[in-house]
Amino acid sequence: MAHHKHHEKLEKIKEAIQSSPELSEEEKSNAIAHIEEWYTEDQADRYFWDMVKKKLLEISAKIEPILAEVGLL
């Protein structure tokens, strides 16, 4: 069940990033590639979402409003 919730969050984040007018296509592509890599590597880790937030914010401060929009901040 928890896996399903994480997968839903993953899809919401990816959709929000893709539809963001604030990010360049390169920033979108990089962010999504990192998310998918991290998710695949450690989908069961309870710290996964904290790490995702931190790493995405390192990629670009423009992602912060997206994280807030999907309820991760």
pLDDT in tens, 12-52: 889 999 999 999 999 999 999 988 888 777 665 667 777 88
Instruction: Quote the CA–CA distance of 3 and 64 in Å, as a whole number.
Output: 24
Look at the pTM and tell me if it is higher than 0.75: no
Question: How many domains does the chain fold into?
Answer: 1
What tokens were used for 66?
């997206």
Confidence (pLDDT) at 2: 55
Domain residue limits at 9: 2-69
Q: Are 5 and 43 in contact (CB under 8 A)?
A: no
Instruction: Quote the CA–CA distance of 41 and 56 in Å, as a whole number.
Output: 16
pLDDT in tens, 48-68: 777 888 888 888 888 888 888
Amino acid identity, position 33: A
Q: CB under 8 Å to 63, separation ≥6 — which residues? A: 17, 23, 27, 31, 56, 57
